[in-house]
Structure 1
Amino acid sequence: MKDMVTPTMPVFEDMLAAHDRIAPHIHRTPVLTSAYLNGLSGAELFFKCENFQKAGAFKVRGACNAVFGLDNETARRGVATHSSGNHALSLSYAAGRRGIPCHVVMPRTAPQAKKDAVRGYGGLITECEPSTSSREAVFAEVQAATGAEFVHPYDDPRVIAGQGTCSRELIEQTGGLDAVIAPIGGGGMVSGCCLTLSRLGPGTLIFAAEPEQADDACRSLRAGRIIADDAPETVADGLKVPLKDNTWHFVSRHVTDILTASEQEIVEAMRLAWQRMKIVIEPSSAVALAAILKNPEIFRGKRVGVIVTGGNVDLDRLPWSAG
């Protein structure tokens, strides 16, 4: 396995090395289009479907890069993380592929489908309260007890480099784009887009999309400093976490704007994707489409890459179902 260049921040060469490292363990996901959604938005939309990724989410890219970049001695102690779901199950998947333990701290309110997936991949779950402060406190106890290598869900150079492989594929598959938009919570995927597009698509505008009820990244960009909410409530469960130093580095330097969408707009966009594209996407993924439909004047006439970040949905608790 190739050693990763390890500066304070990941560099473009780290993304290239990550793509080689993780290739045996991930899918090169398809890019889909929809004439209906093009007409609705006035843009030419290219959906990078990470909902078809291993473990059902883009986060398997960063998780695999971190796990398969470990030396054998470190790997034997296993890996550990805290996550609302997709990073937890992705790290569990990667650890299982390497045959090492994976310890995960998850909010007790995380979707049952994601908890089941973590356990299905062999991850060992410790539950916490649904707040950033609780998850970090409980995680500290778990890591102290296990000695496992911490792989942060997003504020980790190895993870950011892995996530950057998604936009590399997107550019290769589309031949170039005017803009790319991705959901933002902690900022791992958006940071990966910034890392890759600054070299491969320097003229490509980078947008992020966020729930109105968890808009700390939007407020951070406007304030010029990280603003962190501890326990926001939103249907987009994967976007409740705040930016951290590594991701803020990329977001503050490269993101054109962060757009927000209401809970109703997110659910409507999710349902629209299910109905028109016949694909299963989760609420966190739908925020990007919701932001485009809410702000058509920004994207009209442009070729726009849309990162569909995941498709891990609790089918017994769909957000448009009654009760």
Structure 2
Amino acid sequence: MVTLQDILAARERLRATIRPTPCPQSDFFTEKTECAAVYFKMENLQRTGAFKERGALNKLLKLTEEERRRGVIAASAGNHAQGVAYNALRLGIKATIVMPERTPLIKVSRTRDEYQARVVLKGSNFDEAYAEALRIQKEEGLVFVHPFNDPDVIAGQGTIGLELLEQCPDLEVVLVPIGGGGLISGVACALKEKKPDIRVVGVQTSTIASMKASIEAGKLMDLTAAGTTIADGIAVKRVGELTFPMVRRYVDEVVAVDEEEIAAAILTLLEQEKSVVEGAGAVGLAALLSGDVPMAKGRRTAIILSGGNIDMNVISRIIERGLVKTGRLVQLEVRLPDRPGMLAKLTTQVADLRANVVEIHHERAFSKAGLGEAMVEVTLETTGPAHIDELMQSLNNLGWQVARK
């Protein structure tokens, strides 16, 4: 099991390369939640966009000269890949990375093009990519750098816990994402050994909450994902043999959040903190906002934003869904008399009520409207639910049938 001394040694090893990331207090979330204070540990600001480079670098720095000559291989959904590739490039070590075929393009391109690693795309998830990496490792004699089930990797991630206590010595609760368990194992060890009364909460996606299931069963469990997840960085079928006992020893609670909660947390971070955070990095805030962490009430709470490598297309979809959910984007179906000037009258009425037309579709032949009528679908930008109610009432007052889609 990794010890505090291992983490302290890793801290000295990484000190010259890994700069401490900021941990500011958020005024907005301190006011919005019932916490005494909310802090964000911004690991999304690392050079590779995630905390993973801490553990990867610690592992690489401990390789022998013979191991460096052989080269390294890793399996990763993206962030560990970049951490290994970037630091291997700096140290002059050849790196091969096996990634799932559905890994976000931004992570693949950076690993291959910017950090010059050999990238192999294989499988639909981490576990299938991991199996392929083991096959290549055996065939080519490479050194395997595991993303979480490695004591040197765990110790490197644990340096975040040391920084947290230096930056916010009065912390009482820390929320940490969990995939395979490498991050929370190291962080929780550092926190609990330095400050035993601090509370550590792990957060997973409910799509595949393998650590939560293992803790509840008292043994390692293999899970099958219940669907796709925007928290792809923590979508792990089976947690580590090394991380599981550490989580049982040091972590107070493990909770799971759903996809809608994660998406809402990403959007809120973007709007309120001006921070781009990926799904796996936003689960801690999702848990806090959903009320899944009652122990944080009235306490000084830190949330680790573990990464910011999110595909721009995903951000676009999250923003649109968030706007719909909050009533700032709405689609109305309006049944109009099919006469000249009616469409112009509709858009004028919308403009008079200070809504903005995003898209409009005018249908006669294929709609359910009667003869002499036309169906218009209009997508509008509004200021919220009250504005939508005002729009619908105004259009109804003109004698038009209006429905929200």
Supply the distance in 2 between the matched residues of 1:207 and 1:157 (Cα, whole angstroms): 21
Supply the distance in 1 between the matched residues of 2:7 and 2:61 (Cα, whole angstroms): 14
Question: Letter of the aligned partner of 1:219 in structure 2?
Answer: A
Supply the distance in 2 between the matched residues of 1:53 and 1:167 (Cα, whole angstroms): 15
Q: Which residue matches 1:260? A: 256
Question: Letter of the aligned partner of 2:231 in structure 1?
Answer: A
Cα distance, 1:38 vs. partner? Answer: 1.1
Q: Which residue matches 2:147? A: 153
Cα distance, 1:192 vs. partner? Answer: 0.7
> 1:152 aligns to what SS in structure 2?
coil
Residue pair 1:160, 1:189 contacting (<8 A) in 2 also: yes
> Which one of 86, 100, 103 corresponds to residue 107 of structure 1?
100
Cα distance, 1:140 vs. partner? Answer: 1.9
Question: Letter of the aligned partner of 2:301 in structure 1?
Answer: V
TM-score by length of 2: 0.75
Q: Which residue matches 2:286? A: 290
Q: Which residue matches 2:6? A: 14
Mapped pair 1:76 → 2:69: yes
User: Taking every aligned residue pair, what percent have the same amino acid on both sides?
Assistant: 35
> Which one of 168, 182, 187 corresponds to residue 188 of structure 1?
182
Name the stretch that deviates more: 127-136 or 306-315.
127-136
Q: Which residue matches 1:89? A: 82
> 1:67 aligns to what SS in structure 2?
helix
Deviations for 1:70-113, whole angstroms, at most 9, x for unmatched residues?
11111111111100000001000110110111111100000000
> Which one of 213, 234, 238 corresponds to residue 229 of structure 2?
234
Question: Letter of the aligned partner of 2:209 in structure 1?
Answer: D
> Which one of 48, 56, 62 corresponds to residue 63 of structure 1?
56
Supply the distance in 2 between the matched residues of 1:131 and 1:294 (Cα, whole angstroms): 28
> 2:77 aligns to what SS in structure 1?
coil
Instruction: For CA contacts below 8 A with separation 6 or more, give which structure has more relative contact order.
Output: 1
Mapped pair 1:143 → 2:140: no
Q: Which residue matches 1:281? A: 277
> 1:109 aligns to what SS in structure 2?
coil
> Which one of 299, 305, 314 corresponds to residue 302 of structure 2?
305
Residue pair 1:176, 1:201 contacting (<8 A) in 2 also: no
- Evaluate the alpha carbon distance shift between residue 58 and residue 133 of structure 1 in structure 2; reply closer, same or farther with a 3 A threshold: closer
Mapped pair 1:208 → 2:202: yes
Supply the distance in 2 between the matched residues of 1:133 and 1:306 (Cα, whole angstroms): 27
Supply the distance in 1 between the matched residues of 2:55 and 2:309 (Cα, whole angstroms): 17
Residue pair 1:132, 1:231 contacting (<8 A) in 2 also: no
Runs of at least 5 residues in structure 1 that lack an aligned partner in the other structure = 1-8
> 1:97 aligns to what SS in structure 2?
helix
Question: How many pairs are equivalent?
Answer: 315
Supply the distance in 2 between the matched residues of 1:165 and 1:112 (Cα, whole angstroms): 29
Cα distance, 1:298 vs. partner? Answer: 2.6
Cα distance, 1:322 vs. partner? Answer: 5.5
Cα distance, 1:131 vs. partner? Answer: 3.1
Cα distance, 1:198 vs. partner? Answer: 2.2
Supply the distance in 1 between the matched residues of 2:159 and 2:47 (Cα, whole angstroms): 14
> Which one of 39, 46, 53 corresponds to residue 39 of structure 2?
46
Q: Which residue matches 2:163? A: 169
Question: Letter of the aligned partner of 2:29 in structure 1?
Answer: L
Supply the distance in 2 between the matched residues of 1:317 and 1:285 (Cα, whole angstroms): 14
Cα distance, 1:265 vs. partner? Answer: 0.5
Supply the distance in 1 between the matched residues of 2:15 and 2:294 (Cα, whole angstroms): 38
> Which one of 178, 187, 192 corresponds to residue 172 of structure 2?
178
Q: Which residue matches 2:311? A: 314
- Evaluate the alpha carbon distance shift between residue 176 and residue 147 of structure 1 in structure 2; reply closer, same or farther with a 3 A threshold: farther
> 2:153 aligns to what SS in structure 1?
helix
Cα distance, 1:177 vs. partner? Answer: 1.2
Aligned residues: CA RMSD: 1.5
Supply the distance in 1 between the matched residues of 2:159 and 2:100 (Cα, whole angstroms): 28
Supply the distance in 2 between the matched residues of 1:179 and 1:80 (Cα, whole angstroms): 36
Q: Name which one, 1 or 2, has greater alpha-carbon Rg.
A: 2
> Which one of 14, 24, 45 corresponds to residue 16 of structure 2?
24
Question: Letter of the aligned partner of 2:303 in structure 1?
Answer: V
Supply the distance in 1 between the matched residues of 2:224 and 2:119 (Cα, whole angstroms): 21
Residue pair 1:63, 1:87 contacting (<8 A) in 2 also: yes
Mapped pair 1:125 → 2:119: yes
Q: Which residue matches 2:26? A: 34
| Moved beyond 2 Å, runs of 4+ | 230-233
Supply the distance in 1 between the matched residues of 2:310 and 2:125 (Cα, whole angstroms): 21
Supply the distance in 2 between the matched residues of 1:102 and 1:176 (Cα, whole angstroms): 41
> 1:208 aligns to what SS in structure 2?
strand
Q: Which residue matches 1:3? A: none
Supply the distance in 1 between the matched residues of 2:204 and 2:284 (Cα, whole angstroms): 8
